[in-house]
Amino acid sequence: MSRRSVATLNLVLALAAGTLLNLLAQQHPFRADLTADKRFTLDTATTHLLHSLPEAVTVTAYFTGDLPPELAAVRQDFKDLLAEYASRSGGNLVFEFLDPGPSAPMQELAISEGVRPLLAQTRKQDRSENIQVLMGAVVRMGGRKAVIPALQAGPGMEWVLSSAIAQVTLVEKPLIGVMQGHEEPPLRALDELAIQLSAQYDVEATVIYDSFPINERFSSLLWIDPKDSITPWQLHRLDEYMAKGHGVVLAFSPVATQLATSAEALPRDVGLGPWLAAKGLRLDHSLVADAKCGEVGVMQSGTQRPISLPFPYYPLVDQFTDHPVAHGLDQVMFQCISPITIIGGDTALRQEPILLSSAKSAVQPAPFLIDLRHRWSDADFRSGPQVLGAAVERTDASGGRLVVFGNGNFCTGDQGGQQVALPKGNLDLMVNATDWVQRNTALLSIRGKQQDHRPIADQGEGVRNLLKWMNLLLPVVIVLLYGLGRRIWRQRQRARRKQPGHVR
């Protein structure tokens, strides 16, 4: 057989193999998710949720038809995700897409259902225009519904959809109590947190009375930023409540600061010290300063605008343990937080850290004056990582669970005396803590796919120098090796041509 015939046969066989593989791929689709966090693969918690649906779920998606390209991609991603959910549910999930754009009644229906109109920018005839679009969905099961007001691009789409499905499968949501009566922030100051919790819980304010047990219709309690004295009897009632298997999340600031009006950092004692010590924890009357931190605006003489300066008393935390409360977190920002010391004691209790400051940290005992203009150096950060959040549970799992944070306002809108939008990581941390004390960790793994803050790990000066020289020299070495290899090949080719009988 001639060489041409062999080549033709090989080409035909390759085309036949490709056609066969294509047919097999259509019958048995296969995908490989190469992302580090498997963000394009449905989480095990989602598949379990879909397999355990008690009845059919209907998802109605309202998407304006004429969307800008970046928003049209969100629509396609959501459609693909719903198709995957429908496939995994075994027919228990169905969906439809409606375009409310050309129909005013349809727009009114979508808005009345809870879908929130958004403003988007588009270009028409070389002119930029703002248009109103709808990009939401309504999830129904029986007579219950959950609304996704607006969808955004990214892996968080799975969390939003799965939590909405979980919401409609609940016949009755557990009730979370938010403690009041000790100058805690009112419930309206926790709107952002309440919205996040509402996917799986109902939230209601409550108080502790000296003379009456805590109402057990509350499955868990959130105690956020108490500032007034707590009586021993109230703490006794809290112990009784936890002994029945209920959980408590405590966010408390043992150092009082109000940077909007004063530079003083003063110790605060509301009577929690002995109660926490019995749980094996101590909240120190000091503040953590961290080289990895947020910024504050400072006015300087001769300038009309504030300049941003690093402020170590606003730690940016991205060091988390493998505790479930820390699952899926990317970054949390605290404004003036105190360290937690794990002292142990009761062998029936297990204490675990949840999140830590960076290795370049310092601890400043209160009282002291905070100097915004202080010039920090590496010599100031010699205390090492500090525990900023800890979890406590009984080793026999018969009692309640406790989570403690050394800052009271990280999950409220009051940040340093000003009302601001909360970082997403702060809300996720508090929701995770609530889920853990509730023993409701089924969907925790999905939230981890929302990580946006993915800093490049610092490999050290030696690795940086190695990479720099490799970047400089490796292309030159490759070119030289290619030239040397080609020269050897040409020499061998010339030698073969000189052999007798080379030319036929």
Among 117-131, 154-168, 354-368, 428-442, which range has the highest average pLDDT?
354-368
End-to-end CA separation in angstroms for the chain: 19
pLDDT of amino acid 179: 95
Tokens of residue 467, six digits: 């990479």
pLDDT over threshold 70, residue 302: no
State residue 451's pLDDT score. 53
pLDDT of residue 325: 92
| DSSP per-residue codes, 237-285 | HHHHHHHTT-EEEEE--SEEE-TTT--EEEE---S-HHHHHHTTEEE-S
Q: Which residue has the higher pLDDT, 30 or 274?
A: 274
What's the average model confidence in pLDDT over 58-87? 89
Q: What is the mean pLDDT of the chain?
A: 85
Q: How many residues does the chain have?
A: 504
8 alpha-carbon distance from chain centroid: 56
Task: Please tell me what DSSP assigns to residue 116.
Answer: P
Q: What is the pLDDT confidence band of residue 173, given thresholds at 50, 70 and 90? A: confident
In whole angstroms, what is the distance from residue 330 CA to residue 317 CA? 8
* Per-residue DSSP letter, 377: -
Percentage of residues of the chain with pLDDT beyond 90: 39
| Per-residue pLDDT band at 171 (split at 50, 70, 90) | confident
Percent of the chain with pLDDT over 70: 87
Which phi and psi angles does 317 have, rounded to 5°? -100, 125
Query: CA–CA separation, 162 vs 85, rounded Å?
Result: 9
pTM: 0.74
- Show the tokens assigned to 93: 């999930």
The b-or-e profile of 20-40 (16+ CB within 10 A means b, else e) is eeeeeeeeeeeeeeeeeeebb
Q: In 114-214, which residue ranges form alpha helices assigned H by DSSP?
A: 156-169, 191-197
pLDDT range class, residue 386, cuts 50, 70, 90: very high
Contact between 277 and 341 (Cβ < 8 Å): no
Domains plus CATH for the chain?
44-166 (3.40.30.10), 173-449 (3.40.50.880)
CA 472, CA 492: separation in Å to the nearest integer?
32
Angle between helices 156-169 and 69-88 (to 10 degrees): 50
Stretch among 197-211, 241-255, 317-331, 402-416 having the lowest mean pLDDT? 402-416
The 10 Å Cβ neighbour count of residue 460 is: 9
Bridge pairing between strands 93-98 and 202-206? unpaired
Question: In the structure, what pLDDT confidence band is assigned to residue 491 with cuts at 50, 70 and 90?
Answer: confident
Residue (of 40, 53, 55, 37) closest to 88 by Cα position: 53
